[in-house]
Amino acid sequence: MAKKTIEDIDVSGKKVLMRVDFNVPLDDNRNVTDDRRIRMALPSIQSVLKRGGSLVLMSHLGRPKGEVVAKYSLKPAAEKLAELIEAPVSFATDTVGEDAQAKVAALQPGEVVVLENVRFAAEEEVKEEDPKTTDEQKAAKQAFGEKLAAFGDVYCNDAFGTCHRPHASMYTVPSVMGDAPKVVGFLVKKEIQYLSDAIANPERPFIAILGGAKVSDKIKVIENLLDICDKILIGGAMAYTFALAQGGKVGKSLVEPDKVDLANQLLEKGGDKLILPIDTHCGDAFKDPDCNKVVVDAGQIPDDFEGFDIGPKTAEMYADLVKGAKTIIWNGPMGVFEVPPFDAGTKAVAQAIADSDAVSIIGGGDSAAAVQQLGFAERVSHVSTGGGASLEMLEGKAFAAVDVLDEA
């Protein structure tokens, strides 16, 4: 899946239309509370500016659903970017309208313009594969993509978090740009390198650790990784559906009774590759650190209790397995890690990964948040910026928004 990168292209005197992921959290006063996603785009941005190019940046923020919603404006993100780089940054109050056209036309080498939220336009998220989508909607998406494409001499995708979405700014734009260079930024290059290439040729033993609430969310991931991994360690609430499938008692734990047959199929296919918890840390009130607690063997959860974390024996077993690994992928916490003491399992796994010499890939979402929160982000090989995108890549899915870009 090797793609040409922004560093492979001569950008001097050219306008680079770059899709970034500035979907950052804002407080009630519309201040950026976590600028990590903006900072992660800086290497690609600065590469263009230092080499005499100019930048037109496009991104989404939140879910405005095709309407102009003031709280989802990208203006705070543009202002934060201006603080982080030594270059003029202007903000267009629309996406492809008069203000955007004027500001892009006036753009000089070394300057940046940030377009307003692409999701303010309903055309951005038109699902062409949906049978309910009309020809008129498809044509509108095409026209929107063409207007965006007209802003750039070069297209660069540095928004991994939306690479699994064939949205106008992700797929339509590069598909209508003809012979113009269409490349990835440094962030997407790194994501592809770890999530795709490392899985294709892992150093062994290769261990996957999968947590989270639902088996249904991870079915395809488990199925794909069973063909690739040496071991898959299961944690989080989905472990209780597996326990139920084995005839265990799950109390009031979050389970998917309709997925028991599927869990049995995965257990049969997985054999000794699929490793389940051997004990469970339970409580009798959700997200209450002062609730009554008990540690029981897996499948022995009392009627009035819920499983909130893997137990200490499981944490020790998983940590030992991680120590011997050469490649590790982790997606999903082991329990309700936001509430001590039910963070112990997630902490133990994170610590073992941080202490290991393996290539370690943290697959976005809650796992990434846990690693950041625990202070281990600098001690793992890669923390993915895209929860949904990383999951789909672990499933082995092709990404149209990446496939359309130039091969290396």
Q: Which of 4, 36, 138, 214 is catalytic?
A: 214
Is 214 marked active-site?
yes
Q: The tokens of 239 are what?
A: 């472990």
Q: Which residues are annotated as a binding site for ATP?
A: 218, 307, 338, 364-367
Helical pair 344-355 and 365-374, crossing angle rounded to 10 deg: 80
Q: Is 306 helix (H, G, I), strand (E, B) or coil?
A: strand
| E strand intervals along 177-253 | 182-184, 206-210, 231-234, 249-250
For residue 278, what is the DSSP state? S
Q: What does 26-78 look like in DSSP terms, one character per residue?
A: B-TT--BS--HHHHHHHHHHHHHHHTT-EEEEE---S--TTS--GGG-SHHHH
Q: Which of 270, 332, 365, 386 is catalytic?
A: 365
Is 37 marked active-site?
yes
Q: Which of 66, 97, 388, 396 is catalytic?
A: 388
Q: Which residues are annotated as a binding site?
A: 21-23, 37, 60-63, 119, 165, 218, 307, 338, 364-367
Q: Which residues are annotated as a binding site for substrate?
A: 21-23, 37, 60-63, 119, 165
Q: Is 348 helix (H, G, I), strand (E, B) or coil?
A: helix
Q: Do residues 156 and 129 make contact, with C-beta atoms less than 8 angstroms apart?
A: no
Report the C-alpha gap between 288 and 4 in whole angstroms.
50
The H or E element that residue 260 is part of is helix 260-270
Report the C-alpha gap between 362 and 190 in whole angstroms.
13
Q: Which residues are annotated as a binding site for (2R)-3-phosphoglycerate?
A: 37, 119, 165
Which residues have a catalytic role annotated? 37, 214, 365, 388
